[in-house]
Every structure is written in C-alpha cells, then in structure tokens.
Chains A and B, each alone.
Chain A
Amino acid sequence: MATSEVGATAEIVPQAGPRVRLSRGTVFLLVVLALAVLGIGLQAASDVTLFAQITLNGLSLAGLYFIVASGFTLIFGLMRVVNMAHGSFYMLGGIIAYLIQERMLNPDPTSFDLPQATLSSFLIPLIVSMFSVALLGVLIQQIFLRWNQGQELRQALITIALSIIIADQAVARFGGIAKEISVPVRKSIELPIVGMYGTMRLVMLLVAIVVGVILVLIISRTRFGMIVRAGVDDRQMVTALGVNIQKVFAGAFFLGAMLAGLAGVLGGAVNSVNKSDDGKFLLISLVIVIVGGMGSLPGAAVGAVLLGLIDSYSDVYLPDSVTNYGVLLTFFLLVFVLAIRPYGLFGRPA
C-alpha cells in the first residue's frame, strides 16, 4: 500500500507543472549551506551573547567591506576597468591619515601608540586622506587608463604594476609594523545583550549605512546617477546622446577612490593600518563584486554582509582544527553563487 502510493506520486509529479530543476552540484551546495546554518544555529542557542557579538562583528566588518567594494563595483560596472590598485587606495587612505595624525598629535617617542585624538585631529586626517586618495585615483585614471579604454587586460596589468609600486613605497616610508589610528571616542560602550562593544565598530557600521544611503540617492536621483546606470547598460549609446562620458568616468573614479580611502581610515581606526591590507581588500572587493553582480550597489551590500558574516562566524564557530581554513569558505560562497547565478546575485549580462 505504502509503496504503491509512493509510485503514484512519483508518476504524478512530473505532470504537475514546471518544476525547478536542480543539478547535483546545486543540491550538494544547498545541503552544505543547510548544515552550516544548522551548525551556527545550534552554537548560537548555547551562547546568545557570543552570537550577538559575533553577528555585530560580522555586520560592522560588512560595513567596511561595503564601503570599499561599492567604489570598486561602480568603477567596474561603469568602465569595465578591473582596478587592481583599489586595495592600494584603501591602504593609502589609512597610511596618509595616520601620517597626518602623527604630525598633529606629537606622540611620545617612547610610546608605541598615538595619544587619544580630538575630534579635529581625527576628522582633518580623515578628510585630507579621503580627498588625496580621490585625486590620486583620478590622476591614475587620466594618466594610465584613459588611453587604454576597452583594453581590459592592459588596464589590469597597469593597475597591478601601480599597486606593486605603491606597496613598495608604503613599506619604505611607513614601515612594516601595523599602527592604529587614534580616535576621539571611548574604546567601548555598553550595549544590551551584547555587553561591552567597540565604539568604532559601531561608528563604522553607521558610516557604512550613511554611505550606502547617500550612494543610493546619488545613483537613483541625480543626473550623474542616471548616466552612470545608463553607462553600465550601454556606454556607447550614452555618448551618442551628447554625454561626455569621460567626465563621468573621472567622477566615478574620484568617488570610488574616495570611498576606498574613507574605508582605509575607518579600518585603520578599528583594526590597524597595515602594509598588507592592499591585497586583502582587493581580494575582498573582487569577491563581493562577483557575488553581488558587477555595477550593482545592492549586490555590493548583500555580498559584503555575506562575506562579513562568513568571516566572523567561521573564526569562532568552526572546529579548532579547521579554523585556519575559514578563508576557504569565502570561495565556497563564490562557487555557490556562481553555480546558481552566473552573473552574481544582482547582476545581469552586459
């Protein structure tokens, strides 16, 4: 009786309208994903405070990732330039701000850390650094990339070369030791459920949200934003409608580099300014843009949250023996997304 019922349903199902066809790989990935969620859920239930802290860590990290990757996706989507120097913009943002702040604060030569900054000795380095990096970005675009439009490999190689030069100069002038940018706020504050939590991490999350809102407004409401969106769809048609797209490209590079610089300062204040940040943040930006879909701001936001949470959960929840392999999960995410949506979560074929 039971077997005949099973047989009957098996016969009926194929006729019951269109079904989602899942490949064996997708099913495997879904199972892994379900196990991961289950694992996190079980561990979360056993220690809610820890879970809340890690989640907040993941989200604030996601905020930092979003600020970096939003500029990257803007440039990538609009100009098809894979700017391999984007990580260098991040790193330079931190370094420039630190060096300015060091001058302003006159630190005690025997102490390793800078004294606590005032509001102005934090904001002035931040703003100067952001705009310096933005200008550098425009210079690089105008001097090295403008005459290579459409030559993607060449542009990638040129920007790799620039990033190597910048990295070497950074080691020579800044040194190999990670340093922290001083902030004008208390180190930590009390939050419900979470307990004591790093103030700058919350500030970083807040700044990311503000940046996201401003970017969305620029892209959805302004003429610049409309041209950027149109340019992501079809650059040539935009120029045939009387728009000098070179100006828009320069604007996009300015904005993208400025955001990377801003993120560099925030990252330097929350964690540290580190000479190896350039490669790390370039990789993160690439993964986020591939996961989210190139040129898509919502995609960058979702990609950043996924990556931030994965980073944060895998650090704590993976068994000790495999914690070091946590970074592989990032690529697992990449494979998973590309398997189900080859153009990224919010992407479309160009």
Chain B
Amino acid sequence: MSNVPILSLQNVNAHYGAAHVVQDVSFDVHDEPVCVIGRNGMGKTSLCRAIMNLDPPTAAGTILLDGEPINGKPPYVIARAGVGYVPQGRKLFQSLSVDEHLRMIKTPRVGRWNTAAVYDLFPRLAERKKVSATQLSGGEQQMLAIGRAMLLQPRLLVMDEPSEGLAPRIVEELVETLKGFVNEGVGVLLIEQNLGVATSVAERLVVMVAGTVFTETTSTEISNSPELQQRFLGVTPTGHQ
C-alpha cells in the first residue's frame, strides 16, 4: 500500500440550502476498496455528488486525488483527473444508443480502456450496440454506466448503489467485475445498502449516520453481528425491516 491515498476526504461538508447533509466527513481510500454504508437519507449520495462537485449540494472541504486537490474544480476536470462516476439510477441518456454512450467520451490516449475493451468486458453490450439505452435491462444499463466511466481511465471509481434493482445473479457478476477492477489497481469507493455486496467487495466499511461518519467497521465484524446490522442498516439477518 502506497503512502499517498488514492482519495483523501478532509472535513468535507455539503449543504442543500440550509440542510447540512454531509458534516465534516474525513476518510482515505487506498488501494483497498472502501464501502460506505448507511440507511436512506444519511448523506451517502450527497457525499458522491460532493466528490464530483455536482451542484446541488454545495460542497466544501478538501478532497485530494493522489495527493492533488480536486475540490472546487468543475466536474469535468475532476472526471478527467481520474474519478469515474457511476451514479445512482445509472443516469444513462435516453437519446443515445449504447455505442454512442461510449463514443461521446473523450478517452485519454494512455491507459488500457477504450471502446473495444469495454465491449470485451461486457460482450452483452457489444451485441446491443445500436440499441437505445432505455431498452437495456437493468444489468445491461449498469454495465454501460460502468463501461463509460472506465473510458476515462479512472484512478478511482465512485459507485453509488450499483446493485440497486438488479437480480441476484447479475449482482454476483457485478461483484466479480468490481473485484477485477480492484486487482488492476483501480481505487473503488462504493456506496451500498446491500450488505451482501458491500461485504463481498470491501473489507473496510464506513458507516454514515445523519451526514457524519459514525464509525468504521469491517466486513468480518458486521457479518457476524446481527446487532450491528440492525443498528447501521436497520436490517435483521433474515432481511426484514
């Protein structure tokens, strides 16, 4: 593990008007993936948007990517600096085909990712090149959202609830894909409510409650503790609320 973290959040705050949704959040992401867990409305998505400097919320604080400050820069600069963003709900463009989603992105010359590499990783997308993104299945949409983020040769992938609404078998594929990225040295910051996905991708879990980092825990610890699961996520081991 190198000394300079891939991503370093230092006292990051975010506001929606008067609502203080992210409060003094600080943690680092090294080569090992980190997963942020927490119930709905705890500021997880706002944290992602703050990293990308998407407005709203209004973000403040220091955010370092490989030691270089990226906070306050326009989203496109942050993306080009190496943050691949896979937003909640995929946010594909309904007017674009699968292929156009990939071709609209200016891929940096150096790096292993290009359109062909994305199609290699996700052969299903290659079969559906000309199809409008709206006609893809949930799993295919997620593949496309990940594929286009990889075209920026990211140092770090910020993924907001990628497993949401996907079938269990597709979620397993997704987990394998993410592990592949991690092995290639891409940093992963994952936001998840699905504890199964969180624990199988990341060992280190950051728990957010009411906009703050409540505590950090590990997958091993939380998997063995129904009490912690109930406290942090409001789920019982059988999955009932």
- Residues from chain B with a CB closer than 8 A to the CB of A230 are 93, 95-96, 104
Q: For the complex, what is the distance from the CA of A239 to the CA of B100, rounded to whole Å?
A: 16
Q: Chain A 127-164, CB within 8 Å of chain B: the 1/0 string?
A: 00000000000000000000000000000000000000
The yes or no answer to B54 lying at the interface (CB within 8 A) is yes
Q: Are A245 and B95 in contact (CB under 8 A)?
A: no
The yes or no answer to B75 lying at the interface (CB within 8 A) is yes
Q: Are B94 and A233 in contact (CB under 8 A)?
A: yes
Q: Are A234 and B93 in contact (CB under 8 A)?
A: yes
The yes or no answer to B169 lying at the interface (CB within 8 A) is no
Knowing A226-B100, A232-B95, A233-B93, the reply to whether A241 touches B54 (Cβ < 8 A) is: no
Q: Which of B59-67, B79-87, B115-123, B172-180 contacts A (4 or more CB under 8 A)?
A: B79-87
Contact of B79 among A232, A233, A242 (CB under 8 A): A242
Q: Are A223 and B103 in contact (CB under 8 A)?
A: yes
Knowing A223-B104, A227-B104, the reply to whether A240 touches B96 (Cβ < 8 A) is: no
Q: Is the interface of B mostly helix, strand, loop or mixed?
A: loop
Q: Are A244 and B76 in contact (CB under 8 A)?
A: yes
Interface size on B, residues (CB 8 A): 24
Q: Are A242 and B106 in contact (CB under 8 A)?
A: yes
The yes or no answer to B105 lying at the interface (CB within 8 A) is yes
Interface size on A, residues (CB 8 A): 18
Q: Are B105 and A241 in contact (CB under 8 A)?
A: yes
Q: 8 Å CB contacts to A: which residues of B134-179?
A: 148-149, 152
Q: Chain A 325-350, CB within 8 Å of chain B: the 1/0 string?
A: 00000000000000000000000100
CB closest chain-A residue, reference B54 = A236
The yes or no answer to B36 lying at the interface (CB within 8 A) is no
- Residues from chain B with a CB closer than 8 A to the CB of A348 are 94
Q: For the complex, what is the distance from the CA of A233 to the CA of B132, rounded to whole Å?
A: 13
Knowing A227-B104, A230-B104, the reply to whether A240 touches B95 (Cβ < 8 A) is: no
Q: Are B103 and A237 in contact (CB under 8 A)?
A: no
The yes or no answer to B240 lying at the interface (CB within 8 A) is no
Nearest Cβ distance between residue B91 and chain A, in whole angstroms?
5
Contact of B85 among A233, A240, A244 (CB under 8 A): A240
Q: Are B103 and A226 in contact (CB under 8 A)?
A: yes
Q: For the complex, what is the distance from the CA of A243 to the CA of B96, rounded to whole Å?
A: 16
CB closest chain-B residue, reference A237 = B91
Contact of A237 among B55, B93, B95, B100 (CB under 8 A): B93
The yes or no answer to B41 lying at the interface (CB within 8 A) is no
- Residues from chain B with a CB closer than 8 A to the CB of A80 are none
Q: Are B76 and A239 in contact (CB under 8 A)?
A: yes
Q: Are A234 and B91 in contact (CB under 8 A)?
A: yes
Contact of A242 among B87, B95, B96, B105 (CB under 8 A): B105
Nearest Cβ distance between residue A291 and chain B, in whole angstroms?
20
Q: For the complex, what is the distance from the CA of A234 to the CA of B96, rounded to whole Å?
A: 11
The yes or no answer to B226 lying at the interface (CB within 8 A) is no
- Residues from chain B with a CB closer than 8 A to the CB of A245 are 76
Q: Chain A 215-256, CB within 8 Å of chain B: the 1/0 string?
A: 000000001001101101110110111111100000000000
Nearest Cβ distance between residue B131 and chain A, in whole angstroms?
15
Q: For the complex, what is the distance from the CA of A230 to the CA of B54, rounded to whole Å?
A: 17
Knowing A236-B75, A242-B152, the reply to whether A226 touches B52 (Cβ < 8 A) is: no
- Residues from chain A with a CB closer than 8 A to the CB of B74 are 239, 244
Nearest Cβ distance between residue A73 and chain B, in whole angstroms?
14
Q: A241-B105, A243-B106 are in contact. List 18 more A-B contacts (CB 8 A).
A: A223-B106, A226-B96, A226-B100, A229-B93, A229-B100, A230-B93, A232-B95, A233-B93, A233-B94, A237-B91, A240-B79, A241-B79, A241-B85, A241-B148, A242-B76, A243-B76, A245-B76, A348-B94
Q: Which residues of A contact B (CB under 8 A)?
A: 223, 226-227, 229-230, 232-234, 236-237, 239-245, 348
- The 8 A-B residue pairs with the shortest CB-CB distance in the complex, in nearest-first order: A242-B79, A226-B104, A229-B95, A230-B93, A239-B75, A233-B93, A237-B91, A242-B80
Q: Which residues of B contact A (CB under 8 A)?
A: 52, 54-55, 74-76, 78-80, 85, 87, 91, 93-96, 100, 103-106, 148-149, 152
Give 16 A-B contacts (CB < 8 Å), ordered by A residue: A226-B96, A226-B104, A230-B93, A233-B95, A237-B93, A239-B79, A240-B52, A240-B85, A240-B87, A241-B79, A241-B149, A243-B104, A243-B105, A244-B74, A244-B76, A245-B76
